[in-house]
Amino acid sequence: MPKYEPVLLKNILTPGYAGDLAAYERAGGYQAIRKVLKEYQPEQVIDLVKRSGLRGRGGAGFPTGTKWSFIPKDPSVPKYLCVNADESEPGTFKDRELIERDPHQMIEGTLIAAYAIGAKVAYIYIRGEFTLGAKVLARALDEARAKGYIGTNVCGSGREIQVWLHRGAGAYICGEETALIESIEGKRGLPRAKPPFPAINGLYQRPTVVNNVETLGNLPHIINRGVEWYTSLGTAKSPGTRIFSVSGHVNRPGNYEVPLGIPLRELIEEHAGGVRNGHRIKAIIPGGASAAFFTPEHLDVKLDFESVAQAGSMLGSGGVTIMDETTCMVWAAYNLMGFFHHESCGKCTPCREGSGWLHTILGRIEHGEGRAEDLAQLEHLCGNIAGKTVCAFGDAEVAPVLSTLKHFREEYEAHIREKRCPMGERVLAHAGH
């Protein structure tokens, strides 16, 4: 018996579940959109989702119903829904599984959200690398169109909701909501300065909501099972379940759906099978590569938005990466910075130039050429990037550096003092060199 009842992963975990329209309908699918169209005004759906306390699963954890309520009500103004299926955060792979193995759950959620905000058109923006996901979604959209769930007369209600698939070209920044919007418009994916926010001036300068795949996947369940059921899961401020993508040095990496608020230790030890080869945990990233590192001291932190933030990191995208004692933390920061430097879109000088300098300095420390003043230089650079850029990528790229400097400073100092990586060969062996 599983300890918790899966909600979003329930179908996927059912043996033999094919993920096509017939299978989804047999499992109770598309009942929620029928109910919504028949029984609720759009305002009532927004109110229900507000009362459910659902918070976005894409990174920032903003309350979904509140975000929807910023959309102007004027029916003559076209509005858009963009589904963020870009999932580029390193260590995060939950949306991919939801898309590839149960696409209709997400499509039903998309229809509910589009109805609630009065959008006749929704775009699913899927990252370029998700070739299988794009194929599966294209087929699922065709099935849903043929059965009248998508089109000019959704379920015979007289309502029009079109859903189109848009493939990205594989840039991390296109997961940022305004860069995603620019990309759908056919432009280079650069974030826009905010305000104005997409709710007022989004896709094609029209009111737009951008929602994550997992966020939308919750909607059919909230409609079918009600607000009370939903708020009975998780914590008061972070209700519901969350899919955590667990990777790194654990025995059973994978996606695990649990109620928000379980301790980090339980996720790692009971669900992911503990650390491989009986090793000890050294560091944990609790919410994707943009989140500050935790240490074993944080194993009792509860996995909900508030508790993780209070402990100095963020729940972010739900990607939990475990590193054991064989990991060199300077190497880990260097490696992550290589990613951030490569993916900086280049729009702001602090991020474009700063990520390169951070990468260079981390590299020379890791390779035994660090200088005594390098640690202060790293901190100085981070202080000139965070909070000084157009988008939150700037804050993201400094998190691994500042948190490893905070928790593993003696390891940086040993690299500089000994003029080599103290873990050297072991690290290279793990990296496959």
Ligand X SMILES: Cc1cc2nc3c(=O)[nH]c(=O)nc-3n(C[C@H](O)[C@H](O)[C@H](O)COP(=O)(O)O)c2cc1C
Report the partner that residue 389 touches, choosing among ligand X, ligand SF4, none (CB closer than 5 to 8 A by kind).
Answer: ligand SF4
387 binds ligand SF4 (CB under 6 A): no
241 binds ligand X (CB under 6 A): no
Report the partner that residue 390 touches, choosing among ligand SF4, ligand X, none (CB closer than 5 to 8 A by kind).
Answer: ligand SF4
Q: Smallest distance from the beta carbon of 318 to ligand X, in angstroms? A: 10
Contact 124, 80 (CB under 8 A): no
Binding mask 187-216 for ligand SF4 (x = CB under 6 A): ----x-------------------------
Nearer to ligand X, 57 or 249 (CB): 57
Binding mask 187-226 for ligand X (x = CB under 6 A): -----------------------xxx--x-----------
Q: Smallest distance from the beta carbon of 205 to ligand X, in angstroms? A: 19
Report the partner that residue 344 touches, choosing among ligand SF4, ligand X, none (CB closer than 5 to 8 A by kind).
Answer: ligand SF4
345 binds ligand X (CB under 6 A): no
Under rule CB under 6 A, which residues in 332-361 are in contact with ligand SF4?
A: 344-348, 351-352
386 binds ligand SF4 (CB under 6 A): no
Which phi and psi (to 5°) does residue 34 adopt? -60, -45
Binding mask 164-183 for ligand X (x = CB under 6 A): ---------x-xxx------
Binding mask 71-100 for ligand X (x = CB under 6 A): -------------x-xxxx-----------
60 binds ligand X (CB under 6 A): yes
Report the partner that residue 88 touches, choosing among ligand SF4, ligand X, none (CB closer than 5 to 8 A by kind).
Answer: ligand X
58 binds ligand X (CB under 6 A): yes
Q: Smallest distance from the beta carbon of 213 to ligand SF4, in angstroms? A: 22
Binding mask 394-423 for ligand X (x = CB under 6 A): --x---------------------------
Beta carbons within 8 Å of 422's beta carbon, 6+ residues apart: 328, 411, 414, 415
| Separation of alpha carbons 230 and 211, rounded Å | 19
Q: How far is CA 32 from CA 5, 72, 155, 222, in A?
A: 20, 24, 11, 9
Nearer to ligand SF4, 156 or 346 (CB): 346
Nearer to ligand SF4, 178 or 247 (CB): 178
102 binds ligand X (CB under 6 A): no
Q: Smallest distance from the beta carbon of 391 to ligand SF4, in angstroms? A: 3
Q: For every residue of the chain, which 3-state class applies, written as one string? A: CCCCCCCCCHHHHCCCCCCCHHHHHHCCCCHHHHHHHHHCCHHHHHHHHHHHCCECCCCCCCEHHHHHHCCCCCCCCCCEEEEEECCCCCCCCHHHHHHHHCHHHHHHHHHHHHHHHCCCEEEEEECCCCHHHHHHHHHHHHHHHHCCCCECCHHHCCCCEEEEEEECCCCHHHHCHHHHHHHHCCCCCCCCCCCCCCCCCCHHHCCEEEEEHHHHHHHHHHHHHCHHHHHCCECCCCECEEEEEEEECECCCEEEEEECCCEHHHHHHHHCCCEHHHCCEEEEECCCCCCCCECHHHCCCECCHHHHHHCCCCCCCCEEEEEECCCCHHHHHHHHHHHHHHHCCCCCHHHHHHHHHHHHHHHHHHCCCCCCCHHHHHHHHHHCCCCCCCCCHHHHHHHHHHHHHHHCHHHHHHHHHHCCCCCHHHHHHHCCC
Report the partner that residue 217 touches, choosing among ligand SF4, ligand X, none (CB closer than 5 to 8 A by kind).
Answer: none
Beta carbons within 8 Å of 92's beta carbon, 6+ residues apart: 245, 288, 317, 318, 319
Binding ligand SF4 (rule: CB under 6 A), the pick from 121, 213, 390, 401 is: 390
Nearer to ligand X, 33 or 173 (CB): 173
Binding ligand X (rule: CB under 6 A), the pick from 32, 57, 315, 381 is: 57
Nearer to ligand SF4, 96 or 347 (CB): 347
Contact 8, 221 (CB under 8 A): yes
| 138 token code pair | 């294209």
Q: Smallest distance from the beta carbon of 433 to ligand SF4, in angstroms? A: 29
393 binds ligand SF4 (CB under 6 A): yes
Site residues, ligand SF4 (CB under 6 A): 173, 191, 344-348, 351-352, 389-391, 393-394
Site residues, ligand X (CB under 6 A): 56-60, 62, 67, 84, 86-89, 173, 175-177, 210-212, 215, 391-393, 396
